[in-house]
Chains A and B, each alone.
Chain A
Amino acid sequence: MRSFRSQQDPECGIVTTGIPGQIEELNLDPSAPILPVQRTGRESISRFLRSETGKGWLTISPPLLYAMLLLIGPIIVIVANSFWSQDYLTIDRTFTLENYRAALTEPIYRDLLMRSLFISVTVAFVTVVLAYPIAWFVSFYGGRYKGLWLFIITVPFWSGYLLRILSWKVILGYKGVLNTGLMHLGVITEPLSSLIYNVNAVIITLAHSWAAFAILPLFVSLEKLDRSLLEAAADLGDGPVRRFLRITLPLTIPGIIAALMIVMIPTVGDYVTPKLVGGKDGVMIANAIQVQFGRASNWPLGAALAVSTMIIVSLVAGTIVLALAGLKRLLK
């Protein structure tokens, strides 16, 4: 197994697994079968550290170890937790699939999962459709001010996550700015109760929150688009619509995919938006996860909900990527 996964470093002739923590251990292992020359451990370590691969791994190791310890480690613990069960105050570590049965079949969790997916997919598509013309504008007409435009558009995204959502609550609320404004103007006589505490309010707020983030990958892929292709198509008599459908759109599909993913995956687990503007009908899966880690104190169930969410959103993401790749072939 080891020799199958290991690769020989051409420069120093020692075995690396690609995992920095394991290099030392492997070299010190006298039975390592594919070492070409038997060297003392110390010698091969210092050789490795002087090689290009060794220097690279050494330099990247502090942030990489941090990410392993505080991201991969905890995620493994969460996955392990999801197969255990809560026994009042202690955790029973016998293997069980009960949490997953609950997460995937109990109507309340199933509904929350489906709603969260629906919301995140909708938000991702709305965001990308609305952001595409902006990215187009900046890329084609931005001139010297492209950087400035990107800065202006992305600044709201960077400032006040919580406050932006609060602001939508102030706007959409029953006695909020929109209702009182419309009543003041005499458009309506009674406040509209349909503005807030539903799925639509969650979608509007999230789409606004993530609008700016979708611009960046779209902009990057539009920048990469070879403009001479558009000129060639125009010379050959293609109109603007045809040019867009046959050149711009297919060639920017990678950017569209990146933008969809960068919005869809984080929003599926949004906690604050459903809590502030979602009301009873807009609750999402993150709220249920938080309850399990807080009041209900059932970590294994919370863990199973989190893991199920991630797996399902990855599957949906994969499907969307495949569908768009198919669309690209179709358009070409």
Chain B
Amino acid sequence: MRFLPSPRRLLAVYVILYVAILYFPVLLLPVFSFNDSATPKLPLVGFTFRWYESLAGNAAMQGAAWNSLIVGVSAAVLSTVLGICAARAITRHRFRGKGPASALIMAPLILPEIIIAISLLVVLLGLGLQLSLVTVILGHLLICLPYSVTVLVSGFEGFDPSMEEASRDLGETSFGTLRRVTLPMLAPSIVSSLLVTFTISLDEFILAFFLSGTEPTLPVYIWGQLRFAAKLPNVLSLGSILIAASLVLLTAAEIFRRRAERKMELRP
């Protein structure tokens, strides 16, 4: 009986296994992006930078990267601004219909993306709009908004509304209060929201695939390259860069989110 592991130890083994499997596919791409072989297979044959080097002169890829940057920054800024409105209303006001209103804003989180994509496509084309980066931004804004709201709601909950009241009582205008009290208190949450939504936009494929027209974002560009087996190593190196960028951005977002939480602990 002594040899049987305790349930707690079994659980620990399970957790380690689970996390390892979770990360395995994510870390596999970078491994093969350095492998000196045109197809990803075992055993590994040798180390090379050439798949990364060939990205350097790739104008189409750089165009897609530029598009992704434009879309990501726009979606992040707009969704954070709208997110501040929503989070403020949710945390600072009591009003009839708040539940349904916030549920509607959060709905894109649970809807299949293909449904959002085709309905936007039909409406935008019906309005006579050309598909462009703008239409991608409109779509990304919709799916980024729930994440902004989540991050910012905890930001608003993290500081005492009486600070805003005090500022107004001391003679600041509404705008002055916003600029000198609310926004500085919210700053870590705002940065966190910007980083998270930028990452989501950078990563998003389905909406961009349906709404991007002739200007691909990076995931749409990668999708196009998957048709050519010979381009796979380049896709792996580009994908590895994207994953690394996402990890860095998300870690930064998490650090800022924690900073916001720590502010909350300072509350009296």
Contacts and interface: CB of A to CB of B under 8 A. Distances in A.
A77 B226 CA distance: 33
A144 to B, nearest CB: 12
Contacts of A77: 119, 122-123, 126
Given A9-B96, A60-B101, A272-B205, A67 B239 contact: no
Interface string A218-244: 000000000000000000000010000
Interface string A153-174: 1011011111110111011000
A180 interface: yes
B187 interface: no
B129 interface: no
A63 B86 contact: yes
A153 B203 contact: no
A247 B93 CA distance: 36
Contacts of B166: none
A152 B19 contact: yes
Contact of A177 (B40, B142, B199, B210): B40
A222 B101 CA distance: 28
Contact of A170 (B28, B83, B145): B28
Interface in A249-279: 261-262, 265-272, 276
B110 A265 contact: yes
B39 A175 contact: yes
Contacts of B102: 60
B41 A161 contact: no
Interface stretch (B7-15, B48-56, B66-74): B7-15
Contacts of A261: 110
A96 interface: no
Q: Is the interface of A mostly helix, strand, loop or mixed?
A: helix
Contacts, number: 240
Given A77-B119, A162-B222, A162-B223, A53 B82 contact: no
B122 A299 contact: yes
B63 interface: no
Contacts of A166: 29, 222, 226, 235, 239
B230 interface: no
A192 to B, nearest CB: 14
Contact of A60 (B18, B90, B235): B90
A155 to B, nearest CB: 6
Contacts of B8: 141
Contacts of A151: 254
A66 interface: yes
Contact of B82 (A62, A208, A290): A62
A196 interface: no
Nearest to B14: A133
B201 to A, nearest CB: 12
A83 to B, nearest CB: 14
A309 B200 CA distance: 25
Given A160-B242, A160-B246, A208-B25, A269 B104 contact: no
B203 A147 contact: no
A72 B101 CA distance: 12
B42 A180 contact: yes
B91 to A, nearest CB: 10
B243 A160 contact: yes
A127 to B, nearest CB: 11
Contacts of B145: 63, 66-67
B43 interface: yes
B60 interface: no
Contacts of A101: none
Contact of A147 (B41, B138, B196, B258): B258
Given A70-B120, A272-B205, A60 B89 contact: yes
21 contacts: A57-B89, A64-B86, A67-B107, A74-B122, A77-B119, A130-B18, A133-B14, A136-B11, A159-B246, A160-B246, A166-B29, A166-B235, A167-B26, A167-B29, A171-B28, A175-B39, A176-B40, A212-B22, A261-B110, A271-B206, A276-B226
Interface of B: 7-8, 11-12, 14-15, 18-19, 21-23, 25-26, 28-29, 32, 39-43, 82-83, 85-86, 88-90, 92-98, 100-102, 104-105, 107-116, 118-123, 126, 138-139, 141-142, 145, 149, 196, 199-200, 203-206, 210, 219, 222-223, 226, 235-236, 239, 242-243, 246-247, 250, 254, 258, 261
Given A64-B101, A78-B122, A271-B114, 12 more contacts: A18-B100, A60-B102, A74-B116, A74-B119, A136-B11, A141-B11, A156-B23, A159-B246, A159-B250, A161-B204, A176-B40, A289-B114
Interface of A: 7, 9, 16, 18-19, 52-57, 59-64, 66-68, 70-75, 77-78, 81, 130, 133-134, 136-137, 141, 147, 151-153, 155-156, 158-164, 166-168, 170-171, 175-177, 180-181, 184, 208, 211-212, 240, 261-262, 265-272, 276, 286, 289-290, 293, 299, 302-303, 306, 309-310
Name the 4 nearest CB pairs between A and B, nearest first. A269-B112, A56-B95, A56-B93, A74-B119
